[in-house]
Structure 1
Amino acid sequence: MDCELDVGRSALLTDLAMCINYYRLFSPGLYCCVHATVQLDDEIRFRPGVTVMVNHGALKQCNPEPDYDCFRGPPNFVLDVFPGNDLLDYEHRRACFERSGVIEYVAVRDTDPVEWIWNRRTDGRFSVVETAGSELIMSTALPGLWIPADALRHRDWWAIMAAIARGVSRVGHHDLMETIWKPGKNRS
């Protein structure tokens, strides 16, 4: 599952990565990578669809290897795209990401409309974030990454980017930036 994508999943991953990278453009101090290798521990290694990690400050959870071969440790945010009819090794990946300390893991299914499972770490365990159609998915790993559920469902990338532009103007995103650029600051 790590890199074998058909055209539909590749296009969906590209569009999602574009939206997440749009968020990163407002967030200096983050890495946002497509199909970067992540070494969670000595034995578990994945190539998720999209990986986002905080690169500086108190919320940094992983490091790029000196030769930039891979990230070592849990990224803050991971997203994978799965075929519409099969979640393949989703449960195994979810368990590994949960155990290692990833804050949010999103599994997106290439269906029409798009379906997803948004996992958020709470008290050391993943719980699924349920979102009604008209609600915003508001990331905790990446404050200000706001995604309207209806826009995601219907692949309305412009609406998602408009929500992100609004989200990064809010206090949560400013607090995240403070932890990155001011040593010793913690996010409230």
Structure 2
Amino acid sequence: MSTLTRPSSISSETPREIRRQELHSGDRLDRATFHALYQRTPETFKAELVGGVVYVASPVSLRHCDPHAVLIAWLVNYQARTVGTRVADNGTVFLTPDRDEVQPDGMLFIRPESGGQGRYEQEYLAGGPEFVIEIATSSAAIDLHDKRDAYERAGVREYVALSTKEPELFWHENRDGRLVRLATPSDGVFRSNVFPGLWLNAAAAIANDAKGLLDTLGLGLADSAHAAFVAELARRRV
């Protein structure tokens, strides 16, 4: 998501005492109360609930928009060749029942009817999507700390964060319930273990090189493991 403002202070109000129709960074709310208040805000207003604390997004710069667009294109191209998967751009996720409601910059998930770990609740995804991308301002951003922990709690299986201030790509894999950062492979290409064929050229991602990203993805989509995965998704479909 766009840069989130860390709370300067924490509100002591409990959800039952909140009567206003506004959200502020630092509010402590349960997810149901947050969602009810968030539904009353303008479309242009963005906020997330992470660990029971509200974070309101700041304006979005081109430094954020450029890699966001390129990585969404990368995901959409994978989805187009992988029936049974779905991409969402900045969509609301009921990540955990009580503490976390977020809007990842990008996510790729296996559709519930194809055996995915999430489920549809109203018009939203509930539970951790298999694969999440966030564009972070820096390595100190919430995306690489509290928000990463929220994704870990929800069982997200792979998490990619791209830091734009000091350009760096962080690829995390869920191992025994913990999101562990992986070292960049010797050839510079991360290969998803959850979505066979989803190959990410780290240097191209950092450089906002859409052609480089899609060329590498094309190699992944041509790999026999991708064809086997597509066939497996078809068998699972209900």
- How far 1:89 moved relative to its partner? 4.8
1:117 aligns with 2:174: no
- How far 1:164 moved relative to its partner? 0.8
Look up the equivalent residue of 2:95 and give its one-letter code.
L
The structure having more radius of gyration, on CA atoms, is 2
Structure 1 regions of 5+ residues with no counterpart? Answer: none
| CA RMSD between the two structures | 2.0
Distance 1:85 1:54 in 2: 29
1:75 aligns to what?
129
1:140 aligns with 2:167: no
1:108 aligns with 2:162: yes
Distance 1:18 1:164 in 2: 11
- How far 1:156 moved relative to its partner? 1.7
- How far 1:97 moved relative to its partner? 0.8
2:95 aligns to what?
40
Look up the equivalent residue of 1:76 and give its one-letter code.
E
Distance 1:23 1:84 in 2: 27
2:110 aligns to what?
54
TM-score, normalised by the number of residues in structure 2: 0.69
- How far 1:110 moved relative to its partner? 1.4
Look up the equivalent residue of 2:220 and give its one-letter code.
G
Distance 2:67 2:203 in 1: 16
1:99 aligns to what?
153
2:82 aligns to what?
27
Distance 1:90 1:76 in 2: 17
- SS of residue matched to 2:145: helix
Distance 1:63 1:173 in 2: 24
* Higher RCO (CA 8 Å, separation ≥ 6 residues): 1
Identity of aligned residues (%): 22
Distance 1:110 1:41 in 2: 28
Contact residue 134 and residue 149 of structure 1 kept, 8 A: no
Aligned length: 180
1:176 aligns to what?
229
- Which is further off, 84-93 or 16-25? 84-93
- SS of residue matched to 2:179: strand
Contact residue 109 and residue 116 of structure 1 kept, 8 A: yes
Distance 1:116 1:149 in 2: 7
- How far 1:36 moved relative to its partner? 0.4
Distance 1:134 1:28 in 2: 28
Distance 1:104 1:140 in 2: 8
Structure 1 stretches of at least 4 aligned residues deviating more than 6 Å after TM superposition: none
- How far 1:178 moved relative to its partner? 2.2
Structure 2 regions of 5+ residues with no counterpart? Answer: 5-47, 49-56
128, 144, 168: which is aligned to 1:90?
Answer: 144
